[in-house]
Amino acid sequence: MSEKKLSANEGIKTRSNYLRGTIAEGLADLSTGSLSEDDQQLLKFHGSYQQDDRDLRANRRKHRLEKAFSFMIRIRVPGGVATPAQWLATDDMAETYANGTIKLTTRQAFQLHGIIKTNLKRTVKAINAAAMDSIAACGDVNRNVMCNPNPHLSSVHAEALKLSQDISDHLTPATRAYHEIWLDGEKIESSEEEVEPIYGTTYLPRKFKITVAVPPSNDVDIYANDLSFIAIVEQGKVVGYNVAVGGGMGMTHGNEATFPRLADIIGFCTPEQAVDVAEKVVLVQRDYGDRTDRKHSRLKYTIEDRGIAWFKTELDKYLGYHLAPARSFVFEDNGDRYGWVEDANGNHHLTLFIEGGRVVDTPSYPLRTGLREIAKIHDGDFRLTANQNVIIANISPKNRPVIEALLERYGIKDSHLKSAMRLNSLACVALPTCGLSLAEAERYLPTLIGDLENALEESGLRHDAITIRMTGCPNGCARPYIAEIGFVGRSPGKYNVYLGGGFAGQRLSKLYRTDFPGEEVPALLAPIFKRYAAERLEGERFGDFAIRSGYVAETKQGSDFHANVAVTA
C-alpha cells in the first residue's frame, strides 16, 4: 500500500519546536497586522485565530488596503466555572483590547474578538493575571473540557466538575512555549530536553473534545464530542461514568465522505479510572488518527473506518484492563433550565438567556454593564453553559435582593421570558469574524426566530420547546445536526434546512431542503408546525414528529446521514 503524504500541518507542528514557530518574531513585526501562514496554524494551539473583519473586506480591497486583520482569543474555562473577578477581568479585556463584546461559546468558554496584533500579548498577560489561560483552547489538542453546570445538584455536580478540571489539567500541553511567548517566561536552555509526554512532537491529528455529563441533562451534548463521561449516580453519589467515544459534527458541503457522527457508548469506568481512560482514548487517536487528510482526521473517522469493536480492543490494550458494561441512564433534553432555583444549602442560582452567547451593550439592553455590575458584588460564581448562556450561581440569600435590583435596573430580569423556541436556540459566530462562514448565523437567527414565532403563535406552540440551531457553514459549531430544526449556511442568505434531530441531542437530523432562502423558511415550516400542533401524539417531540410524518427519514448514525435525502429546493 502506498504511503499517503502527511498533511501540511503535520510538518508545521514537527518543525515548530513544541509550538514556538516564529510567533514571537511575527508579533514583533510591525510592518503588517498579520502573522505568517505557518504561525497562524501554531497560534491556534495558543488559543488565538487570525481573522479579518469580513464586513470591511470589499471596501479595503477597493482602496488597496491590507485586510482589517485582528485576532480572536478563546479563554479556557474548564467546566464553565468563572469567578466574579474573572468575569470582571474578561469584561475589562473586552473593553480595553477587543471589540467591546464577550462571546460565550458553545463549549463554555469566553471569546474575545477584534484584538489587534500589538495588543495580543497584553491580552494573554491579562488572561494570565486573572488566573485563566488560552493554551489548548484551539489546535490539535484536547480543548476546553465541558461539564454540566447545574450547581443546584451540588454534590454530584462538584464531583463531575472536578473530573472535568482534572482531565483538563492532565491533558494540557506541557510545552513552555506559551509562557515564553506570551508571559515572558524563561527560555528553555538548548541542553534541556523538552518533552510533551502525552502528545509528542506532532500533537494530535486534529482537535479533540471531551465532556462530562450529569443525566438527565445532556446540555453538554455528549453525542457531538470525541469523548464523554456520563455520570452514573446512585444514592446521591457518582459511582462511575459511562464512556462515549467518536462523536463530532463537522462536514463539508458536497463531500459525502465527511459527516456528523454520534458518539458510541462503549462501557463504564470508575471515578478513579476516568482520567486514565481519557488519556488512553487520546493516545489511541494520537497513534491511529489520520494525519494525511485533515477532513478525515477526527476520532469519529478512526472509529467509523476501523469499527467500534476494533476501537474497544485497542483501548483495552492501552488501558491494560477492560471497561465494565455501560450502565443505564436517561437523557431528557440538551437545553438549559432558565430562571431562579434554590438548592438544598439555601443558595440561589439564576440562569439567564444570552442570545447567541453575545454579551454586549445596546442602547435598549445594557447586558454587559448589568453583568459587570453584578460581578462587582456577586459572592458566588458564574457558570457558562454549553448553550451559550450564563448561570449567576451560588448567590447567598443576603445577596439575592441586591442582584435582583441590578437585574431590574439593567433590564435583564426577564431575559428568559421568551418563546420556548428562542430559549432553545443556538447560533455560531459566523459573519463578520469567522473566516469560514458562508452565511450569517448569530446576526440572523434572532430575526428568523421572530418570524417563526408568528407561525408558532398561530399554532399555539409558543411554549413548546423545539430545538433550533444555525451555523454559517457546515463545520457545525452550534451543533446543528442534532437539533430538531437545523440551518447550515450555503451562501449569503441561503441555508440547508435539516429536520428530525433528537430533543435530547441523541439523534442526527436529515437534510430537508437545500440552498433554501432564509426569508422563505417561515412559509416552509408554518404548515409543519400546524400539523404538529394538531396531530402530535402525547408528549411527541417535534423532531420525532417530523420523522413519523414522513418529512424526513430517520438518521441512525453518521454513515447514513447523507442517505435517503428526499427533497431539494
Of 507-536, which residues contact ligand SF4 (CB under 6 A)?
A: none
Contact pick of 176, 209, 291, 422 for ligand SRM (by CB under 6 A): 209
209 is catalytic: yes
Q: Is there binding between residue 475 and ligand SF4 (CB under 6 A)? A: yes
Q: Which of 20, 46, 74, 416 binds ligand SRM (CB under 6 A)?
A: 74
Least separation in angstroms between CB 388 and ligand SRM: 6
Q: Cis before residue 522, ω within 30 degrees of 0?
A: no
Q: For 344, which DSSP code?
A: T
Q: Say if CB 91 and CB 110 are below 8 A apart.
A: no
Beta-strand pair 210-213/227-234:
parallel
Q: At closest approach, how far in Å is the CB of 50 from ligand SF4?
A: 14
Is residue 513 part of the annotated active site? The answer reads no
Question: At closest approach, how far in Å is the CB of 255 from ligand SRM?
Answer: 11
Annotated catalytic residue: which of 286, 434, 510, 541?
434
The residues with which 459 forms a beta bridge, in sequence order, are: none
Residues 274 and 154: their CA atoms lie apart, in Å, by: 20
Distance CA 299, CA 209 (A): 10
Catalytic, 147? Answer: no
Q: Which residue is nearest to ligand SRM (CB)?
A: 250
Q: Which residues are paired to 267 by β-bridges?
A: 243
**243 and 323 in contact (C-beta within 8 Å)?**
yes
269 counts as catalytic: no
- Identified catalytic residue from 103, 117, 143, 176: 143
Q: Does 115 bind ligand SRM (CB under 6 A)?
A: no
Q: Cell for 482?
A: 442534532
3-state secondary structure of 162: helix
Least Å distance between CB 554 and ligand SF4?
24
Considering the rule CB under 6 A, would residue 111 count as an interface residue with ligand SRM? yes
469 belongs to the catalytic site = no
Closest CA to 371 of 410, 340, 417: 410
Least CB distance to ligand SF4 at residue 253 (A): 11
Would you say 113 or 280 has its CB closer to ligand SF4?
113
CA distance 509 to 499: 5
Which residues 139-168 are close enough to bind ligand SF4 by CB under 6 A? none
Q: Which of residues 510-569 bind ligand SRM (CB under 6 A)?
A: none
Cα 82 off chain centre by: 17
Give, for 299, the enclosing helix (H) or strand (E).
Answer: helix 299-306
| Catalytic status, residue 398 | no
The binder of ligand SRM chosen from 107, 372, 469, 507 (CB under 6 A): 107
Known catalytic membership, residue 143 = yes
Q: Could you please report the per-residue DSSP string of 502-543?
A: -TTS-SB-EEEEEEEEGGGHHHHHHHHHHHHHHHPPTT--HH
Query: Which of ligand SRM, ligand SF4, none lies near 209, with the C-beta cut-off 5 to 8 A by kind?
Result: ligand SRM
- Give the C-alpha separation, 90 to 233, whole Å: 35
3-class secondary structure for 78-121?
A: HHHEECHHHHHHHHHHHHHCCCCCEEECCCCCEEEEEECHHHHH
Of the candidate residues 72, 153, 423, 430, the single one contacting ligand SF4 (CB under 6 A): 430
- Distance (Å, whole) CA 355 – CA 3: 48
Measured CA to CA, the distance from residue 202 to residue 291 in angstroms comes to 10
Q: Which stretch binds ligand SF4 (CB under 6 A): 28-36, 141-149, 257-265, 472-480?
A: 472-480
Cβ-based nearer residue to ligand SF4, 428 or 546: 428
Q: How far is the CB of 42 from ligand SF4 (least distance, A)?
A: 19
CB-nearer residue toward ligand SRM: 111 or 347: 111
- Taking CB under 6 A as the rule, which mask of x and - marks residues 131-160 in contact with ligand SRM? ------------xx----------------
Residue of 107, 207, 280, 507 marked catalytic: 207
- By CB under 6 A, is residue 482 in contact with ligand SF4? no
Of residues 382 through 441, those in contact with ligand SRM by CB under 6 A are: 388, 428-429, 433-436
* Residue 452 is a binding residue for ligand SRM (CB under 6 A): no
- Nearest CA to 532 out of 504, 500, 496, 506 is that of 500
In whole angstroms, what is the distance from residue 309 CA to residue 266 CA? 9
- Classified as helix, coil or strand, 48 is strand
Place of cell 512532537: 201
| Gap between the Cα atoms of 266 and 107, Å rounded | 23
Binding partner selected for residue 49 from ligand SF4, ligand SRM, none, CB under the kind-specific 5 to 8 Å limit: ligand SRM
Per-residue interface string for the shown chain with ligand SRM, residues 454-493, x marking contact by CB under 6 A: ---------------------xxxxx--------------
Q: Does 441 bind ligand SF4 (CB under 6 A)?
A: yes
Distance CA 262, CA 248 (A): 7
Is the dihedral angle over the CA atoms 135, 138, 140, 145 positive or is it negative?
A: positive
Pair 177, 183: CB distance under 8 Å: no
Residue 476 backbone class (left: φ over 0; alpha: ψ -120 to 50; beta: rest): left
Q: Which of 280, 298, 348, 368 binds ligand SRM (CB under 6 A)?
A: 298
The count of residues interacting with ligand SRM (CB under 6 A) is 32
**Smallest separation, CB 76 to ligand SRM (Å):** 8
| Contact partners, residue 505, CB within 8 Å, separation at least 6 | 218, 221, 222, 223, 224, 331, 334, 467, 479, 482
496 binds ligand SF4 (CB under 6 A): no
Min dist CB 105 to ligand SF4, Å, is: 9
Q: Which is catalytic among the residues 372, 477, 479, 510?
A: 477
Which spans of this chain sit near ligand SRM (rule: CB under 6 A)? Answer: 49, 51, 72, 74, 105-107, 109, 111, 143-144, 207, 209, 221, 224, 248-250, 298, 357, 388, 428-429, 433-436, 475-479
Residues of this chain that bind ligand SF4 (CB under 6 A): 428-430, 434, 436-437, 441, 471-473, 475-477
**Residues marked as catalytic:** 74, 143, 207, 209, 428, 434, 473, 477
